[in-house]
Amino acid sequence: MKPELLNSLKAPTTSMKIQLPYGHGSVSVDVPDRNLAGVLEPNELPAVKDCKSAVKEALEHPIGSSLPDIARPGDSVAIIANDITRITPTDKLLPPLISHLNEIGIRDSDIEIVFATGSHRKQTEDEQRRLLGNEIYDRISCIDHDPDRCRHVGITSRGTPIEIFAPVLDADIVICTGSIEFHYYAGYSGGLKSLLPGVSSLASIRKNHALMVHPDAVSGRINSPVRQDIEEGTIGLSKFILNAVLNSKNEIVAVVSGDPVEAHRAGVFYADQMYRIRADPADIVITSPGGMPKDINLYQSQKSLENAKNIVKDGGAIILVAECLEGLGNDVYERWLDIPRGELLHRLKSGFELGGHKAVLTSLLAERVDLYLVSAIPDDLAKKAYFTPAVDVQSALDTAISGREGFSQVMVMPHGGLTCPTHHSPASA
């Protein structure tokens, strides 16, 4: 045996310990240095020095539309706020916004907060209070969206019926609040997405979401047909948004307000700066959605798979690290896992059902790569959802490496729900 080869065999294997968000805490994995292709972290922007001042500044310098121009004393105002599955800092956005409305002459009694639950479950009073903060919760009336109390207001050129929650339609002024980040089929979150799917009927949501099978319905694409459909259908229903852009620590780095399209695009600029990252494809990708609430269930956690699949090689593996304390998170999703795998895509195209799309997307990805899941989900359910369950990240990685011939490059995405890796020209350019 050659001396240099003997020395290489005797040399200890060094590795890097990498932390991954998991629920309210974190887990770690040791990736051998020789295998580590990189750790894709956001290009963090610094947090604003004072949240209240940043929101106030955005409200005083809106883009394309201002509240004093569209609101009058006595007007009824519906403020759309994200539900518990989103990380929007609603408790920081709303106090300055409501003070701004008060200065215009709109009383607290004229304001109602509507939580954009879309097709999600109802929230508890404790969850509502936590989202708003004690002061706003005690001052301002708030309700959850009810998809069964919607009125028809039109139809888009793509055939989506626009059916919106009645209390929102009855308000004189509708203000959409939220946060802007990459979204795996709408391109980006935020903007008028608060209305569709946020406060729409299930029929509206299903038809709009059915557009996700279009090849342009991908993360980071501002002209995603899903977003185009949203904006076409709801552009006249709200004339003002207040959106935050957050870094991976959930700190506000920018706040935009004003016209629902112009202000949204200004916020997209900040999201691109942080989260659109160029990277070469890898054999194995380890990804975490980013902890709670992004990994509250598999329904939400699946979004990070859609980002990870952009840089995993065919025949490779993705290891999803997501606690999923609420299990799958959707009854329809679970029911679709009982459908024979070969029939899933045809069933979705012939009759889109919200929740079923998650089963279809995961099954298609599982045909291209191996999927591992580190979670609190029972093993039998994980297997049913097309994953190989693993007791921890290390064992999943060791199995993925040993199961492949030759040398495996490993890429790690600790905030896979946010990060949009790309190895081609930016899709939104």
In one-letter notation, the amino acid at residue 308 is A
Among candidates 93, 90, 145, which has minimal Cα distance to 116?
A: 145
Which ranges constitute the DSSP H helices of 158-281? 166-170, 202-209, 225-234, 262-275
pLDDT at res. 12: 56
> CATH number, domain at 285?
3.90.226.30
Q: Which domain holds residue 10?
A: 3-40+279-422
Give the C-alpha distances (Å, rounded to integers) separating 335 from 21, 320, 339, 381, 385. Answer: 29, 22, 7, 12, 11
Q: Which of 169-173, 257-261, 326-330 has the lowest mean pLDDT?
A: 326-330
Task: Kindly tell me the burial class for residue 315, based on how many C-beta atoms sit within 10 Å of its own C-beta (0-12, 13-18, 19 or more).
Answer: exposed
The kind and range of the H/E element at 76 are none
The CATH number that applies at residue 202 is 3.40.50.11440
State how far the alpha carbon of 53 is from the alpha carbons of 125, 267, 418, in Å: 29, 17, 25
Cα separation, 366 vs 347, whole angstroms: 18
Give the residue-averaged pLDDT of 370-375: 98
What is the pTM for the complete model shown? 0.80
Minimum mean pLDDT among 210-219, 280-289, 299-308: which range? Answer: 210-219
- Domain tally, the chain: 2
Last residue within a domain, chosen from 219, 252, 274:
274
Backbone angles phi, psi at 356, to 5 degrees: -65, -30
| Domain finish residue from 274, 289, 323 | 274
